[in-house]
Amino acid sequence: MRITVLAGGIGAARFLRGLIAQAPEAEITVIGNTGDDLTLYGLRVSPDLDTVMYTLGGGNDEAKGWGRADESWNALAEIQAYDATPSWFGLGDRDIGTHLVRTALLDEGRTLSEATAALTARWDLPVRLVPMTDLRVETHVVVEDPDQPDGRRRLHFQEYWVRHHAELPVVDVWFDGIETSEPAPGVLDAIASADLLLLPPSNPVVSIGPILAVPGVRDAVLAAPAPVVGLSPIVGGAPVRGMADKLLPAIGVDTSAAGVAMHFGGRRSGGLLDGWLVDERDADAVPRIEQAGIAARALPLLMTDVAAAAAMARATLDLAEEVRR
């Protein structure tokens, strides 16, 4: 069975661990979000690609969810000792090794897809990880700033999230470079040839959003013969982790399991979804979601361990079979 997953970072990576445990024979292609990417000290960093790579490769820091296990922070300490900026982004020494190799490959003229293939080869991943695009796209957050003439300021998503802890009032979110981007090689084929398309519990705005915004991707999902099933990243009105609750209002979406389902839309009304899984705390939202033509199921959605993620994956596969046209 060929499964294609549109993935952000930590939530997607943890779900993928469950999916792999539940469907070890499946051929899984992960289309990774690259809107989080940024350049620091000349190094190209791809946080969501690295989170999937480290987590599925067994090299991730399980407590933080991002970055490498057994990390040290000597280079960052030196940066800070020099009072150099930026120093708000946690660049670990082992992690820097990844960025050095990626940047060297890119500087040699290799594409991000080629660099990602080279990096993931070391980790012997049980999935194929491809970037959503090989062209530069960066998610920027527009925040209120009374000191600016138009009362607004635009900053990179990572600065908004890591430096400012998502505390700045968000006016808009946009994906710089998205209009001239194009799907990376294999992305459209992985969508068209999939037996199942999944939206894991990732941030709908800055993780799934950029992937769907790459020209051609949303249309490919709409045209795909495979059922499209997603899992709500919002449980009981709040994101399980991260800052989706700060960003969803900026795009006019209700911070709820039903709100995000409606945001993606039901296939019957021109949207993406055939099925949507919500946490049992949001079971009361099931009827409304079903009325939108999206098959909905309520079950525990907290990925406390791989077994919990595998149970979610099982329910996802079961729902996919129920909605398969």
The tokens for 241 are 């982790």
Q: Which is nearer to ligand FO1, 26 or 244 (CB)?
A: 244
Find the shortest distance in angstroms from Cβ 165 to ligand FO1: 8
Question: What tokens does 77 get?
Answer: 């300490």
Q: Which two tokens stand for residue 182?
A: 């194009």
Site membership for ligand FO1, residue 233 (CB under 6 A): no
Q: Which is nearer to ligand FO1, 134 or 138 (CB)?
A: 138
Distance CA 77, CA 65 (A): 21
Q: Is 53 helix (H, G, I), strand (E, B) or coil?
A: helix
By CB under 6 A, is residue 48 in contact with ligand FO1?
yes
**Residue 9 binding ligand FO1, by CB under 6 A:** yes
* Size of residue set near ligand FO1 by CB under 6 A: 16
As measured in angstroms, the least distance from the Cβ of 202 to ligand FO1 is 8
d(Cα 299, Cα 294) in Å, to the nearest integer? 16
Other C-beta atoms closer than 10 Å to the C-beta of 185 total 14
Which is nearest to 16 in space by CA: 99, 121, 128, 120?
A: 128
160 near ligand FO1 (CB under 6 A) = no
Query: Which of residues 117, 162, 212, 302 is near ligand FO1 by CB under 6 A?
Result: 162
- Supply the angle between the helices 10-22 and 47-57 in degrees, to the nearest 10: 30
**Shortest distance, position 149 Cβ to ligand FO1, whole Å:** 30
Among 18, 35, 59, 67, binds ligand FO1 (CB under 6 A): 67
Q: Which structure tokens are listed for 221?
A: 């999902």
Q: In the complex, which residues of this chain contact ligand FO1 (CB under 6 A)?
A: 8-9, 36, 45, 47-48, 50-51, 66-67, 89-90, 95, 158, 161-162
